[in-house]
Chain A
Amino acid sequence: MPIKRSRSEKIFYGVIILLMIALMIVTAYPLLYVLFASFSNPVELMSNRGILTAPLGFSLAAYEAVMQNPMITIGYRNTLFYVIAGTSISLVLTIMGAYALSRKNVLWRNPIMFAIVFTMFFHGGMIPSYLLVGQTLGLQDSPLALIIPGAISTWNLIILKTAFESVPIALEEAARIDGANDFQILWNVCIPISLPAIAVITLFYAVAEWNAWFGAMLYLRNRELYPLQIVLREILITNSTEAMTTGVSSGDVLPIAETIKYATIVVATVPILFVYPFLQKYFVKGVMIGAIKE
């Protein structure tokens, strides 16, 4: 359908395009700067006083320092474990809960649903949760403290429950007539049909786990268990690259400390940014279902 525009509409359209381009630059440039700076020659970067449009010189020194840093490799390993274990547990619980609550014939379904949704709007507070997990359940310095307390996101549960509710009844009835029990119906009928919704909530859980740091700060004292984000916080915010620059001659410490920061950001962020475009087309569906339902 060709759109006829008046003169003022053309100007309006031009302004929108310019605004969008400006927004893209403001959004992407900080990330691009970090990427360029991480590959730059540390000494050249130090003396640079403006924006970067490409790496200054080329150096992998920062990445070598990052890879050799024991805290980063430990953090990476721990985070991978927390993401895989946490996302798996979250998915299993969310799928089971969503299936059970999507059945019409469950006793007390509405009161249970009400009690679950209520937790989105009212909570007991940080300190009672902290004491419950750390003291009562004794999960201080346990990896479980980072995996179990946030295992179910009510938002994700509602997204998936809505997806299961939209599975055609006829398919389930056909399976039931063939003698399938609820586990088989869930596995063979509901899950295959709801794969887009499951993909979205998997991404949400994995990203949340990858980016989580507060739980680790509350419950972990043992540095061997630290996730990557806590290590990152030490390097980026509380400023300590000393551990990584040992062995570098003192005059080079300052410049390389700066590029190490950028390289750490890249190493910690790229994996997440890499998976998301593949799932982007499902976002609208996933987010929207939850919104309508609420």
Chain B
Amino acid sequence: MATAQRVRSSVAAQSQLNFRQRLVKDFVRNRYIYLMLVPVVAYYVVFHYGPMYGALMAFQDFNVTKGIWGSPWIGFENFTTFFNSVYFTRLIRNTLAINIIELFFAFPAPIILALLLNEITSPAFKRTVQTITYLPHFVSLVVVIGMMVDFLARDGLVNNLIGAVGVAPIPFLQRADWYWWLFVGSGIWQGIGWGSIVYLAAITNIDPTLYEAATVDGANRWHQLRHITIPSIMPTIIIFLILRIGSMMSVGYEKTILMYNSMTYETADVINSYVYRKGVLNADYGFSAAVGLFNSVINFGLLLIANRLSKRVSEMGLF
């Protein structure tokens, strides 16, 4: 009774204050929270929303000294120049090819690893596999590509080994036809263990009584895998699939820039590495910003489409 009355009277007192007064009161009471929030919001405004504003230069004949305020607007000219350039089809083809190969091989690899690890009954063996396969995630890209350059060189380890069985040396990293497979393969080497963590965690969260009931009904390991484990981790798989589709138009430019060379440009050059060369090396800012913006918009569109499709088909989605 007494508390109810107190609540009612405090509500009455609150409504007597006008909006401004309540705002001030809230700021005073939560001042430390707002103090903590300010630098974080400022960071996102400057370093994330700043570049989104800066992307307006894609519609300009951008000049650094004049800035966004002073440079002349040219509409979609930068975009049409890109669409009509000789690079356009090559860049799109390479970007899509690498992403499709990744979708088929690199995306399922950690899921399969997690499912196999789940079958292992010895905890010590399982932990050893995990520890070793997580390792490459922590090795820097520079070192990974550096090791590839060394091992795949004409006189490197791999050519020595295949030479022992009579195969003529292959200069792998100078060969355009090997590039996509080496790019995706090294990505799997580096990411399979780390990628399996989320799926393993999803498997651990499955209700063990499901398996007990299935065993009583005579289900073997294979039946359990097919009818319990895989359906149970499907939401996790779908969420990561949506995220993956949302980046179908981008290929890691850091890795591309480290890994490609003039002999492999034909298959290696992707949208982001082109943006880097045009923008940073050639200082063609407006044009390269347009290429980058085109890329961001397509990726965001793909993410929305994948999300909507997934919601329709499986009633699961990111948002």
Q: Which residues of A contact B (CB under 8 A)?
A: 3, 5-6, 9, 12-13, 16-17, 19-20, 23-24, 26-28, 30-31, 33-34, 49-51, 93, 96-97, 99-101, 103, 105-107, 112, 115-116, 119, 121-132, 135-136, 148-149, 151-152, 157, 181-183, 186, 207, 210-211, 213-214, 218, 229, 232-233, 235-237, 261, 265, 268-269, 272-273, 276-277, 280, 283-284, 287-288, 291, 294
Contacts and interface: CB of A to CB of B under 8 A. Distances in A.
B92 interface: no
A96 B128 CA distance: 37
A228 to B, nearest CB: 9
Contact of A33 (B119, B157, B254): B157
A125 B55 contact: yes
B139 A101 contact: no
A151 B43 contact: yes
Given A236-B142, A261-B150, A294-B318, A50 B164 contact: yes
Nearest to B193: A27
Most buried by A among B40, B43, B117, B198: B40
Interface stretch (B8-16, B80-88, B96-104, B293-301): B293-301
B37 A97 contact: yes
Contacts of B161: 50-51
B258 A128 contact: no
Contacts of A207: 138
A24 B43 contact: no
A30 B147 contact: yes
B221 to A, nearest CB: 6
A96 B134 CA distance: 30
Contact of B132 (A27, A96, A126, A232): A27
10 contacts: A20-B125, A23-B129, A27-B132, A99-B36, A123-B51, A125-B293, A210-B140, A211-B139, A237-B146, A287-B201
B91 interface: no
B223 to A, nearest CB: 11
A13 B288 CA distance: 53
Given A9-B222, A152-B43, A182-B36, 16 more contacts: A19-B116, A24-B129, A49-B160, A107-B26, A123-B52, A126-B275, A126-B280, A127-B54, A128-B54, A129-B50, A131-B57, A152-B44, A232-B142, A283-B134, A288-B198, A291-B236
Contact of A291 (B33, B48, B139, B239): B239
Most buried by A among B37, B121, B149: B37
Task: Say whether chain A's binding surface is mostly helix, strand, loop, or mixed.
Answer: helix
Contacts of A123: 48, 51-52, 296
Contacts of B138: 207, 211, 272-273, 276
Given A20-B129, A100-B33, A125-B51, A211 B140 contact: yes
Contact of B40 (A96, A124, A126, A218): A96
Contacts of A157: 40
Contact of B41 (A13, A112, A237): A112
B107 interface: no
A101 B201 contact: no
B141 interface: yes
B272 interface: yes
Contacts of B33: 99-100, 103, 106, 182
A214 B254 contact: yes
Nearest to A30: B147
Interface in B22-61: 23, 26, 30, 32-34, 36-37, 39-41, 43-44, 46-55, 57
A27 B116 contact: no
A125 B133 contact: no
B121 A3 contact: yes
A124 B289 CA distance: 8
B189 interface: yes
A22 to B, nearest CB: 11
B48 A9 contact: no
B309 interface: no
A27 B292 contact: no
Nearest to A130: B280
Given A28-B132, A125-B295, A269-B140, A50 B160 contact: yes
